A and B are shown apart, each in its own frame.
Chain A
Amino acid sequence: EPEVTQTPSHQVTQMGQEVILRCVPISNHLYFYWYRQILGQKVEFLVSFYNNEISEKSEIFDDQFSVERPDGSNFTLKIRSTKLEDSAMYFCASSVKGETQYFGPGTRLLVL
């Protein structure tokens, strides 16, 4: 069964550094999403992406964040200058046409 994959599974970085989290959505899906889950808290929507542009974004998704689909398979989330409060699990998800979202296993980001 096709799955969303994410790399790396864990990343440790220093405050102020840039990080890029990578996702490979399910191949025939058209909508892509990023969510985050701060430890012990609920899953929060960050951004959705369709037709090579951002469709929706939350207030969390500020200028420090960007998303890109650099090729036909990868979908990336870049955090330009990480802060301590960016430490979280980041989930990528994809859907065929914006209804059922399938999630990847997540990348745990730790900012020191």
Chain B
Amino acid sequence: AQSVTQPDIHITVSEGASLELRCNYSYGATPYLFWYVQSPGQGLQLLLKYFSGDTLVQGIKGFEAEFKRSQSSFNLRKPSVHWSDAAEYFCAVGARGGADGLTFGKGTHLIIQP
């Protein structure tokens, strides 16, 4: 069965500092990989996705993520965080095509210090 591990429950970063959120997955084949962000009281907004090709993908709000097959990882990065980046970040995996649901990690709560 597929699973997603986000080992960091909380991360605190100073505004302007760089950020890396970790995600490891377990999946039988090469999955589709996603990062979603959830601001307080809001829904899930898609930040970026990886389907195939270039293993470094760019997303919205200045985020990027790198797919590393050998490490089964899909870590999210941002070179310089803003206070508005404070939110819950979820990594998810899905099957290639079809109607399968996504499997989510437990999320990482990002706190931005002034």
A binds B: yes
Q: Which residues of A contact B (CB under 8 A)?
A: 4, 31, 33, 35, 41-50, 55-56, 58, 91, 93, 97-106
Q: Does more than half of chain B's interface fall in helix, strand or loop, or is it mixed? A: loop
Q: Tell me the complex Cα distance, A100–B59, Å.
A: 13
Which of A43, A100, A104, A105 contacts B104 (CB under 8 A)? A43
Residue of A nearest to B36 (CB): A103
Q: Is B100 an interface residue (CB 8 A)?
A: yes
Q: Is B78 an interface residue (CB 8 A)?
A: no
- Find out whether the CB atom of B103 lies under 8 angstroms from the CB atom of A100: no
- Find out whether the CB atom of B101 lies under 8 angstroms from the CB atom of A48: yes
Q: A43-B44, A105-B43 are in contact. Are A98 and B90 (CB under 8 A)?
A: no
- Find out whether the CB atom of B98 lies under 8 angstroms from the CB atom of A103: no
Q: A43-B44, A43-B90, A105-B42 are in contact. Are A99 and B97 (CB under 8 A)?
A: yes
Q: Tell me the complex Cα distance, A99–B67, Å.
A: 17
Residue of A nearest to B96 (CB): A99
Residue of B nearest to A45 (CB): B101
Q: A42-B90, A42-B107 are in contact. Are A98 and B43 (CB under 8 A)?
A: no
- Find out whether the CB atom of B49 lies under 8 angstroms from the CB atom of A42: no
Q: A99-B32, A99-B51, A103-B44 are in contact. Are A48 and B104 (CB under 8 A)?
A: no
Q: Tell me the complex Cα distance, A102–B49, Å.
A: 12
- Find out whether the CB atom of B99 lies under 8 angstroms from the CB atom of A56: yes
Q: Tell me the complex Cα distance, A41–B109, Å.
A: 12
Q: A45-B102, A103-B43 are in contact. Are A98 and B97 (CB under 8 A)?
A: yes
Q: Tell me the complex Cα distance, A41–B100, Å.
A: 21
Query: Smallest CB–CB gap between B51 and chain A, Å?
Result: 7
- Find out whether the CB atom of A91 lies under 8 angstroms from the CB atom of B101: no
